[in-house]
A and B are shown apart, each in its own frame.
Chain A
Amino acid sequence: MNRTSPTVRSTIAGAPVDPVAAAVPASPLLEVSGVTLQYKTTDHLVTATYRVDFQVFKSDRYVLLGPSGCGKSTLLKAIGGYLEPVEGAIRLNGHEVTRPGPDRMMVFQEFDQLLPWKSVRENVLFALTTSGRAKGAEAAERTDHYINKVGLAKFAHSFPHTLSGGMKQRVAIARGMAMEPDVLLMDEPYAALDALTRRRMQDELLRLWDDTKFTVLFVTHSIEEAIRVGTRILLLSPHPGQVKAELNSIPPEQLGTAAQAELEARINDMLFVH
């Protein structure tokens, strides 16, 4: 794939041709440039990330990896539009992100992200109709399609409180995917699941990706999960979060081989040594 470097693009930006419209495949979908994020606690101003740069291209499975306190979740919230950077900019398709919107659907870690007063189907349908992503028959069709895809057709009319944690996360993923956002933002979605379910959910995510090749930005603190889920991995150092490296992950067929162990060791060294 021809990935034009940002410096080259900025030279064409002066020309009358709109750089976004002109070079769709080459320009990044999401561009995070020099983003510093701060938030206030009761008596401190905390710098969560410091001048973070990275680019996400279409169909990337981009993983933000780092130990707790590296600001990866805060970074994802900023991309979601919930937090404004004090420095730098976040651009989606060339437009600066200023507020939350359905073009960046979040999947949270918490199981209470589904609306408890709506059934599985209503949860997905409501998201589509309220945000205006789809209406009427199209919305209903899309809802059923994605609920089917995550294997919850039998539970379409169940209320969230009757579902297991893994099933709730599946509904949240179905909801996110049904919105067909530009990028799906997943904030440690499997962290609260048991190990067996987590593994199954990771495989399922890859299978879903094989189907529709959606772009996903995935936050995790597990090196193994990052390698399994991601195509590209951004390593962040803690306090404040700074980019330490941006690595390519291994293809799925190399999972479980020496290549995985090698990459794991390499990431481990980068994150936790010195």
Chain B
Amino acid sequence: MTMQSTMQSILVDRPEIVRDVSRSTVIADVEKPLSAWERLYRVPLLRKGLILLVLAVIWEVYGRWLDNPLLFPPFSAMLQAFTTDLGNGIIPARTLVSLQTLVIGYAMGILLAALLTTVAIGSQIGTDLLETMTSMLNPLPAIALLPLALIWFGLGSGSVIFVLVHSVLWAIALNTHAGFRSVSNTLRMVGRNYGLNGLGLVRHILIPAAFPSILTGLKVGWAFAWRTLIAAELVFGVSSGSGGLGWYIFENRNQLETANVFAGLFTVILIGLIVENGVFATIERRTIRRWGMQH
């Protein structure tokens, strides 16, 4: 009796509420289109373009203020040098030479990385092999191997491809292996439940499940490959009569054509942007974003 009276003193006594939620009372705009500005802002290409534009303006202003085309030509001078050499076919030819070597080295790197990680996933000793090799060779700058490569493969593209493979292989192998290891045990068990094992399990379960990591490895590998290639061409110069972009940069520096040096660097940056925002972004959108593995 006393208990009930104390409860009543604490709790506020009020009637129950039951409402009739009808359709007519729902507010008018459950869905409302975004404003034009908001929609434009949501396009990543436009946002990134804006950043590039601002950077170009800063470059131009600083270049003009410095007024020393030998040290730092303004953006417009670089653009002029770029369009001239683009028009007369020098930059396209040099780019083609560089890209050819790059693609061969990159493809070989991917192939070897795939082989190595497949071996690594199959057995403990394979894992140890990959881990030891990666920790040994990954920190080794590819360019440091170039003198050796020149002795082994001579003054051809063989040497450059060798250092390219070295720069690509470990980054991709490391990421792919980390990706394989992070695949949930449940997914592996599901795959084995279907009767998959060995290569079938790698192909149908591990590779797609580890795809976010693999893609990161491919991106890092691509960037490493570019860096190594340009550096190798700078050190190593021309091979069999036709040099690449690195050689183009080196050549123009010797002639103190600084605007052309910048045009060469600009080409490297441009290709990087295209590959990153064109190729890799498309792959990302069609795979891991679509699958909800990345947001």
Residues of A within 8 A of B (CB): 80, 82, 99-102, 104-106, 108, 110, 112-113, 115-117, 126-127, 130-132, 159-162
Contacts and interface: CB of A to CB of B under 8 A. Distances in A.
13 contacts: A80-B193, A102-B193, A104-B193, A106-B189, A112-B186, A116-B209, A126-B194, A126-B204, A130-B195, A130-B200, A159-B290, A161-B291, A161-B292
Given A112-B184, A115-B208, A159-B290, A131 B189 contact: no
Contact of B292 (A99, A102, A127, A162): A162
A116 B291 contact: yes
Contacts of B75: none
B187 A100 contact: no
A110 B290 CA distance: 21
Contacts of A112: 184, 186-187
A99 B198 CA distance: 14
B194 A102 contact: yes
A117 B287 contact: yes
B195 A102 contact: yes
Contacts of A115: 187, 190, 205, 208-209
A159 B291 contact: yes
Contacts of A162: 292
A187 to B, nearest CB: 10
B208 A117 contact: yes
B114 interface: no
Given A106-B190, A115-B190, A132 B195 contact: yes
B208 A113 contact: no
Interface string B176-197: 0000000010110110111110
Contacts of B189: 80, 82, 100, 106, 108
B193 A160 contact: no
Contacts, number: 65
B192 A117 contact: no
A99 B197 CA distance: 11
How extensive is the interface on chain B, given as a class?
20 to 34
Contacts of A106: 189-190, 193
B293 interface: yes
Interface string B267-294: 0000000000000000000010011110
A100 B184 contact: no
A99 B201 CA distance: 15
Contacts of A82: 189, 192
B186 A100 contact: no
A48 B291 CA distance: 37
B186 A117 contact: no
Contacts of A113: 186-187, 190
A105 B193 contact: yes
Given A108-B189, A110-B186, A117-B211, A130 B291 contact: no
A116 B192 contact: no
A151 to B, nearest CB: 22
A100 B211 CA distance: 25
Interface string B208-240: 110100000000000000000000000000000
B96 to A, nearest CB: 35
B291 A117 contact: yes
A137 B49 CA distance: 49
A104 B200 CA distance: 19
Nearest to B195: A131
A100 B292 contact: no
Contacts of B292: 116, 159-162
A100 B290 CA distance: 31
Q: Which of A100, A104, A126 has the most CB of B within 10 A?
A: A100
A104 to B, nearest CB: 8
